[in-house]
Amino acid sequence: MSVILKAQEVCFGYTRLPVLENVSFEIESGDYIGIIGPNGGGKTTLLKLILGLEKGHGKITWFGAPIAQFKEWHKIGYLAQKSPVSQTRFPVSAEEVVLMGLAEHHGSRVTIQELKQVQEAMQQTNTREYAGRIFQDLSIGQQQRVLLARALVSRPQILILDEPSTALDASSREMFFGLLGTLNKKHGVTILLITHDTGEVGKHISKFMYIDKRLVFFGTKEEFCHSAEVAKQLGVFAQHTIDHLHNHHGHCPLGETCTECHHDE
Amino acid sequence: MMSEFLSYGFVQKGLVAGSLVAASCALLGVFLILKRLSLIGDGMSHVCLTGVALALLTSANPVYVSIPVVMVSSLGIMKLMQKIRLNGDAAIGIVSAAGLSVGLVITALAGGFNTDLLSFLFGSILTVSWIEAALCGILLAVILVLLRCFYRDLTSACFDEPFAKTRGISVQTVQTVLVIITSVAVVLAFKVVGIFLISALLIIPPISALLVSRTFKQVLWKSVLFSVVSVWAGVFVSFLLDIPSGAAIILINLLVLVSCFSWMKLGNTHDR
């Protein structure tokens, strides 16, 4: 598998206050990575750094190119934690918002191909019925699905999501993570996701990254769940995550392969 | 009476220049409001005073002297926002205060206020020259070309700045170009409505349009429509009642704003 993203000794901090220290990792094509960690641990900052929204120290490489020289941003889809809606009335339709995800053309002209891509992305996220409605008039959950369509419209190779399920109800959350799972398994889209919702999303995740001002753990779900030593080092939060993974919906997301659940059988 | 009013050459020049500059301000204002930079017009208009005072001191054309002065100041506002991470309102406040102080000092050195300076403070649309009208036309043409070529970048940068950056859009460049063009528009507008009322031309028509539009393109053309109609109605009313044209234009704009707000409220009531 090819390396999509490489971070080497990435550091970030405000004056005298380190937020992230020496974080290094590689993300391969097809990975589905859950980033977890305590609040204030630097998860969102890490995403901002790899997206070029913040400037820190260290080396970040996208598809083999240093981030400063990287131009193929359409290969990356991004969904932020908060909806961008402000107090000021901004009458753009949901369809116009999705179109903003296509930045190859800069002007007002919209090509037939672009319209097709917009419709396809809205179809995937079940948002076609809102296409003509003003984005600000939609509910927060509907807005989040439209923003997911915007992240998908350029047919990205990697999706980066920052706690996307916070505003979703239970059924929307299931649909949301089901879609991410399909994109990952059927279409090979790499997913990098900050989440506290380890129960639902845990079914699909292949690797965990635990960030608490540094990279504490990065490995497969199996390694994360089964390593009692890691669990001890990670403390209460990680133990809670592991418990959640094991107990969600009354069954372990690892199924019969989980030696932790089946060691007595 | 209308035909008599339109038969005067100075009225024709004023209406052409006024319409062109009002359309420019209406388009720019939409993006400035959405970028929360709506008070930049107010800040720059205060800096205009430095340009006008310098021009009166050196007997030069105030428009030509003010354009570079206001442009440099607008870049100063951008630098304060980007380098020191100041909010737009604070950066505008600093540059505006500096512009006003320097302008007042130069005016004092030049021997105090005179009628020329007062006409710039309150506007005199009917003294616009054909060259200034042509400059207004060039400004509007530049804005329309930029809108046509960078419409998606502009809307994206205003709607969601971080996401726009992840599309490879240079939000900083978009913002800088927007602010530089606004500085030219502000200088050309001070002849129309006066230094004190320029920001109203940048704020009121876009706000009115935002209240009664359902798409972004509607916002743009309605903003232009409201602004141009206000200039024509304002100049006509000022001619009729013998009142200052700048103030009349802004009062008509406010009337349009109140009408749009009532229309929006009425629409919401009907929706329920």
Confidence band (pLDDT; 50, 70, 90) for A247?
low
Q: For residue A263, what pLDDT is reported?
A: 46
Residue A115: inside a domain, yes or no?
A: no
CA neighbours closer than 13 Å in the CB half-sphere of residue A202: 24
- Answer for the pair A157, A62: CB distance below 8 angstroms, yes or no: no
Is residue A67 domain-resident?
yes
How far off is chain A from B121, nearest CA to CA, in Å? 30
Residue A265 has pLDDT above 60, yes or no: no
Running DSSP on this structure, what letter comes out for residue A133? S
CB contact under 8 A, A52 and B165: yes
CA nearest to A48, candidates A27, A78, A21, A23: A78
CB spacing of A100 vs B167 below 8 angstroms: yes
Per-residue pLDDT, A249 = 46
pLDDT in tens, B30-39: 999 988 888 8
Query: Bigger pLDDT: B9 or A263?
Result: B9
Domain that holds residue A207: 3-85+158-262
Confirm whether A124 is domain-assigned. Answer: no
For A119-138, what is each residue's pLDDT tens digit? Answer: 999 998 888 998 889 898 88
> Has residue A159 got a pLDDT over 80?
yes
- Amino acid letter at B253? N
Helix (H, G, I), strand (E, B) or coil at B215: coil
When divided into structural domains, chain A yields a total of 1
A248 pLDDT band, cuts 50/70/90, is low
- Interface residue B36 vs chain A (CB under 8 A): yes
Is B85's Cβ below 8 Å from some Cβ in A?
no
Closest chain A C-alpha to B240 CA, distance in angstroms: 36
* Residue numbers in A near B215 (CB within 8 A): 91-93, 96
Arithmetic mean of pLDDT, B19-41 = 89
* H/E element, B202: helix B198-211
Tell whether the model's pLDDT for residue A240 goes beyond 70.
Answer: no
CB atoms within 10 A of CB B4: 9
CA distance B23 to chain A (A): 19
pLDDT at A196: 74
Is A51 within 8 Å of B166 when comparing Cβ atoms?
Answer: yes
| pLDDT, chain A, mean | 81
Residue A135 lies in a domain: no
| pLDDT above 70 coverage of chain B, percent | 94
Q: Give the one of B149, B162, B213 whose C-beta lies nearest to A106's C-beta.
A: B149
**pLDDT 10s digits, B113-166:** 665 666 677 777 777 888 888 888 999 999 999 999 888 889 888 888 889 998
CB-nearest to A91 from B163, B167, B216 is B216
| pLDDT score of B269 | 55
**Is the pLDDT reported for residue B179 higher than 50?**
yes
Residue B187 is which amino acid? V
Evaluate whether A157 touches A4 at the Cβ level (below 8 Å): yes
CB-CB under 8 Å, B151 with A106 = yes
Preferred mutation among A88, A137, A147, A161 to probe B, highest tally of B CBs within 10 A:
A88
Q: Do B153 and A106 touch (CB under 8 A)?
A: yes
A218, β-bridge pairs: A209
- Report how far residue A138's alpha carbon sits from residue A115's, in angstroms, rounded to the nearest whole number: 21
Question: Once rounded to an integer, what is the mean pLDDT over residues A94-106?
Answer: 87
Min CA distance, B201 vs chain A (Å)?
18
What digits encode the pLDDT tens for the residues B199-217? 888 999 999 999 998 888 8
Q: Examine residue A248 and state whether it is found in any structural domain, yes or no.
A: yes
- Model confidence at B44, pLDDT cuts 50, 70, 90, reads confident
Interfacial B residues in 216-255 facing A (CB < 8 Å): 216-219
Residue at A103 is within a domain: no
The pLDDT of residue B80? 85
Q: What is the pLDDT, as a whole number, of residue A139? A: 85
Contact B211 A53 (CB under 8 A): no
CA triple A132-A138-A144, angle to 5 deg: 105
**Within 10 A of A69 (CB to CB), how many other CB atoms are there?**
8
Assigned domain for A242 exists: yes
Interchain CB distance below 8 Å, B149 and A76: no
- A48 to chain B: which residues are within 8 Å by CB? 162
CATH, domain range B2-271: 1.10.3470.10
Contact B159 A103 (CB under 8 A): no
| Structure tokens, A149 | 């369509």
Give the percent of chain A with pLDDT over 90.
Answer: 24
CA A68 to chain centroid: 22
Amino acid B56 reads L
Task: Residue A14: give its domain's CATH number.
Answer: 3.40.50.300
Contacts of B213 in chain A (CB under 8 A): 91
Return the H-helix or E-strand segment holding B101.
helix B88-109
Residue A132 included in any domain: no
Looking at every residue in chain B, the average pLDDT score rounds to 85
Residues from chain B that touch A101, judged by Cβ atoms under 8 A, are: 167
**Are the Cβ atoms of B216 and A108 closer than 8 angstroms?**
no
In Å, the largest CA–CA distance within chain A is 64
Q: Alpha-carbon torsion B123, B125, B127, B128, what sign?
A: positive
CB contact B160 to A (< 8 Å):
yes
* Dist. CA B116–CA B113, nearest whole Å: 8
Instruction: Print burial letters for B151-163: b (CB count within 10 Å at least 16), e (below 16).
Output: bbbbbbbbbbbbb
Compute the distance between CA of residue A151 and CA of residue A118 in angstroms, rounded to an integer: 11
Q: Could you say which of B33, B166, B219 has the minimum Cβ distance to residue A78? A: B166
Please tell me the distance in Å from A99's CA to the nearest CA on chain B. Answer: 9
Chain A interface residues (partner B, CB cutoff 8 A) = 48, 51-53, 71, 73-74, 76, 78, 80, 84, 86, 88-93, 96-97, 99-103, 105-108, 134, 150
State the ipTM, two decimals: 0.81
Give me the residue label for tokens 């550091």: A11
